[in-house]
Amino acid sequence: MWNPCKRRDIIAKLRRLGFAGPFSGKRHHFMTFNGRRQTIPNNDEFSTPQVLMLVRQIELRIDRPITVEEWEGL
């Protein structure tokens, strides 16, 4: 089951997946993976729907699906 997640935890999970950053952008920070940019919203905590939306975007950047178990284990 997907759960809400704090911003710092999402950044840590992205680093474990191989993303670099976060870097400052115009309105939001972003992280990169093989030249692909992933925006990180400024929320302190992400709701379950926001986490799902972010995970779907991350899947597109890394070209593979992420399971709930993998996400929770990161």
> How do residues 17-73 score in pLDDT, each as one tens digit?
999 999 998 899 999 999 999 999 999 999 999 999 999 999 999 999 999 999 999
Residue 11's CATH number: 3.30.920.30
Closest by Cα among 16, 74, 12 to 40: 12
Interatomic CA distance for residues 65 and 56, integer angstroms: 8
Query: How far from the centroid of its chain's Cα atoms is residue 47's Cα?
Result: 13
Task: Name the pLDDT band for 6 (thresholds 50, 70, 90).
Answer: very high
Domain holding 65, by residue range, is: 5-73
Closest by Cα among 57, 59, 62, 71 to 1: 71
Closest by Cα among 67, 69, 55 to 14: 55
Interatomic CA distance for residues 62 and 51, integer angstroms: 16
Q: How many domains would you assign to the chain?
A: 1
